[in-house]
Amino acid sequence: MDFLNLNDSDRQIVSTILTGYSSGSSKSRLTLEHLLAQWTRIAERMQSLYDMSLDDFLNDVSTRDVLQELIERLSHTSRTRLAAMLEPIDATFKSGTVEVAYLKGDHWWNHRLPARMGDEMSQQAKQLADAGHDHEGR
């Protein structure tokens, strides 16, 4: 977290939020650096065929939800720094995805799907679109 030069209060906020998302094992403790690296990998993966299911994709995208939760709770200075770090990663994600109207969520990334999907996800997305049902983003 030192790369953001967080103050003690912001460090505590990050620790509290990420502890809630970490599994019980101390070996798998989630860090801000890990989240940023994970979101970067997800965004880069959108540049090629995404050959997993819709649920896998929504699980991947939930990484950005956690980052947004941090942004909303951090001090103005830290929020600005983190948002600036996310800007190029978000742009990469956007460039490899398309907006869809039938997915629900509070943020722009909850309304996007990979531009190039594998057969399984394409069928799932088509079924949702045809049924006119919303699929809750996680």
Query: How high is the mean pLDDT of the chain?
Result: 90
Cα separation, 24 vs 7, in Å, equals 26
Cα separation, 73 vs 75, in Å, equals 7
User: What is each CA distance from 36 to 64, 77, 100, 107, 109, in whole angstroms?
Assistant: 9, 18, 25, 18, 15
Weakest mean pLDDT among 22-31, 57-66, 100-109: 22-31
pLDDT for position 131: 82
Residue 109 pLDDT greater than 90, yes or no: yes
Query: Number of structural domains, the chain?
Result: 1
Q: What is the pTM of this model?
A: 0.88
In which domain, by residue range, is 58 found? 2-136
